[in-house]
A and B are shown apart, each in its own frame.
Chain A
Amino acid sequence: MKLGGAGRTIVLAALTLATIAPLVWMVGVSLMPLGSVATFPPPLWPTEPTLANYRELLFYHVGPGGGATSYRIGPAIVNSTLLAMLATALGLTFTLPAGYAFAKLRFVGRARLMQLLLALAVVPAQVAMLPLFLMLKSIGLINTYAGVLLPGLASVYGVLFIRQATLAIPDEMLDAARLDGASEWRILTLIVLPLLRPVVVTLALFTFLASWSDFLWPLIAITDQRLYTLPVALAAISREHGQDVELMMAGAVVTTLPVLLLFAALQRSYFTGVLGGGVKG
């Protein structure tokens, strides 16, 4: 079968429609009154859109016992946002100087340390999680922000990513600054960082999104409901209220819409990150 340009465009449009249909339905159902998705075929779009599910999710509501209860989605939004921002700030603080040093500074053991990091890049994070839990528990860091954030500091990929980008900066530029008496810290912040801006934006975006969507480690490191991140809170609520489709869809929208918007706004940075992401040693 031969397809012309118009034919291929139509096939792609159909595929795209099928791909985003679940996301569109997610938004549609989240705006329906509770109990709407009970018929076959299910309604595709709300006839009378309502924000009731969002209100119930975000604010206190009357629980089965008659008292006011809360799904604690509001605190989860705060936790997720703060943790993702902290993870990004800490990640950049740790990886930027290291990536620059591995690319441009000569010091004893550089090649060895680089090899060590490359070897460690293949260790799956899950292997370390059980002992990490015990370690952090013994020093009282389970159920704290620090407990969620600390393992993320071992960001081997971030260092390799920054190093790769820094290698492209000509040595002459840095040497000229050194001859003018600039310290390595000044060179990093005043020369290297501005040149690396697009790469830093990409790494920040990836770190933020990874932290926002992370599930297994926050699930392990947090048992206190008040500290739940959005994915952990959503998974917990879905175990009890799984039949409240419309409510859960509102929870899914709250969890996933921020990352979709961030991605759409910074899509160029994101796409260069994926394609430049084939980090080589």
Chain B
Amino acid sequence: MSRSSEARAGLAFTLPVLVATIVFLVVPTVAGLLLSLTDFDIYALADPANLRFVGGRNYTALVANPLFWHAVRNTLVLAGLGVPMAIATSLAVALLLDSATVRWKPVWRLLLFAPYVTTVVATALVWRYVLDTRTGLLNALLAVFGIAPVDWLGDPRTSIPATLIFIVWKAFGYNMLVFVAALSTVSTELREAARLDGAGAVARFRHVTLPAIGPALVLAAVLSVANFLQIFAEPYVMTHGGPAQSTITILYFMFDEGFTWWNLGTASAVAVVLFVAILCLTAAQARLARRQEWL
């Protein structure tokens, strides 16, 4: 066996991916940082000679832009409400699926997971009609219980909760699956022993189940926050950012600045802010992962 041929093959096999990663990820990311320090706009797009270095002016302009703060606030509200909603739904359904006495589990699992694999643009469209005030499925269901029609996507007070119903519906299946796998590692003997010792369902969940699935819960929560920070297609299709800009997210704002108004300098500054936020989140995740026994 020849060492040098192995080394040659190693480089040859990894080179394509490394080159692609540098050209299509590293270079553009660095370029994005630089772009955020310029006034790149539609004039620079036409002729690069119009490009000027403006230092941190894009960032100070962002801080002074109410629409940017609106987008930040909407994104944080979506994440702040959505992550607990999504995790709680996934966990509740996973606990049901985990019970030994439930029948036809594979059927429920497959169907409950189905929304996760659907194409977001298509199902966001479907939910636009499900949430319709006059002819939507949801208001028809609420009417059965005597609840008056709600203008889900047309009222700034309900547009975010309505969007969240769709997002949770679409996403909960993934963590449900992860939690079912984590729950299956909880020792049956330990649960039985706790039961024989007279621990109630809540106490058993708190002291036996929760410590076992704690790490999976934390990881799922952190990954969910990262996903919620990157919401774009949902408001793009369901509300176009409205009503009254109540569903404009950070990424929606970036897309609008960049590709509707061609303010690529400003849009890059938004991208950098988002990048830093996600980096901080990843760092927090790494720290949490190192001391998992906190629960």
Binding site for B on A (CB under 8 A): 4-5, 8-9, 11-13, 15-16, 19-23, 25-26, 29, 37-42, 44, 93-95, 97-98, 100-102, 105-108, 110, 113, 117, 120, 122-135, 150-151, 153-156, 159, 175, 178-179, 183-185, 188, 209, 212-213, 215-216, 219-220, 230-232, 234-235, 238-239, 242, 245, 248-249, 251-252, 255-256, 259-260, 263-264, 267, 270-271, 274-275, 278
Contacts and interface: CB of A to CB of B under 8 A. Distances in A.
Given A130-B271, A131-B31, A249 B143 contact: no
A18 to B, nearest CB: 9
8 tightest A-B CB contacts, nearest first: A5-B101, A107-B10, A184-B9, A97-B13, A128-B28, A131-B31, A105-B10, A153-B20
Interface string B161-186: 00000000100001001100100000
Interface string B54-94: 00000000000000000000000000000000000000010
Contacts, number: 283
B20 A124 contact: no
B126 A22 contact: yes
B202 interface: no
A15 B13 contact: no
A29 B25 CA distance: 42
Given A126-B271, A128-B25, A238-B125, A12 B114 contact: no
B233 to A, nearest CB: 5
A237 to B, nearest CB: 9
A28 to B, nearest CB: 10
B147 interface: no
A201 to B, nearest CB: 15
Contact of A256 (B9, B21, B122): B122
B122 A95 contact: no
B6 A105 contact: yes
Contact of A215 (B28, B32, B169, B233): B233
A26 B278 CA distance: 35
B210 interface: no
Nearest to A233: B121
A216 B117 contact: no
Contacts of B241: none
A274 B93 CA distance: 17
B212 to A, nearest CB: 16
Given A5-B102, A179-B1, A215-B232, A25 B137 contact: yes
Given A23-B118, A101-B14, A130-B268, A216 B255 contact: yes
A267 B267 CA distance: 39
Contact of B123 (A22, A29, A113): A22
A207 to B, nearest CB: 13
Contacts of A110: 10
Interface in B125-182: 125-130, 134-137, 139-140, 143, 149, 169, 174, 177-178, 181
Given A5-B99, A155-B17, A263-B117, A21 B126 contact: no
Contact of B29 (A128, A232, A270): A128
B20 to A, nearest CB: 4
B11 interface: yes
A22 B96 contact: no
A133 B111 CA distance: 38
Considering residues A22, A25, A106, A274, which has the most beta carbons from chain B within 10 angstroms of its beta carbon? A22
Given A126-B271, A260-B114, A94 B20 contact: yes
Nearest to A5: B101
A274 B178 contact: yes
A220 B120 contact: no
B97 interface: yes
B138 to A, nearest CB: 9
Interface residues of B, number: 92
Contact of A106 (B6, B27, B107): B6
B245 interface: no
19 contacts: A5-B102, A12-B96, A93-B16, A105-B6, A127-B32, A133-B258, A151-B25, A154-B17, A154-B23, A154-B24, A178-B6, A215-B120, A215-B232, A216-B251, A231-B120, A251-B122, A260-B114, A264-B110, A275-B181
B174 A124 contact: no
B294 interface: no
B62 to A, nearest CB: 15
A124 B230 contact: yes
Nearest to A110: B10
Given A19-B169, A150-B24, A256-B118, A98 B14 contact: yes
A279 to B, nearest CB: 12
B9 A113 contact: no
Nearest to A188: B13
Contacts of A133: 258-259
Contacts of A38: 135
Given A40-B140, A135-B28, A19 B115 contact: yes
Contacts of A102: 14
B121 A21 contact: no
